[in-house]
Amino acid sequence: MRIRFRALVAVVVLVVSSVCAAPGYAGNEADVTYYRDVLPIIQDNCQGCHRPEGLNLGGVVAPMSFMSYQETR
């Protein structure tokens, strides 16, 4: 009985906290830009291979370039 009550309380807390957190996140989506937010991630993690002269990793070269916004989109 106690275990069931604790599980119910945990589920209620989880649901309430996720519902309360969702509106704050949705408001920030409009502020994301390619050059400020996305490009640094692509430069750090993707452009090493995704370039016209990409690295040949075990015989596999990345099939597309991510060097510009036009190529990435």
Per-residue pLDDT tens digits for 11-55: 666 666 665 555 555 555 678 899 999 999 999 998 888 887 766
**pTM for this prediction:** 0.50
Determine the pLDDT at residue 44. Answer: 94
| Residue 11 in tokens | 């589920």
Q: Break the chain into its structural domains and give their ranges.
A: 1-31, 33-73
Report the distance separating Cα 68 and Cα 73, nearest Å. Answer: 9
Cβ within 8 Å of residue 62, ≥6 positions away: 49, 50, 51, 54, 55
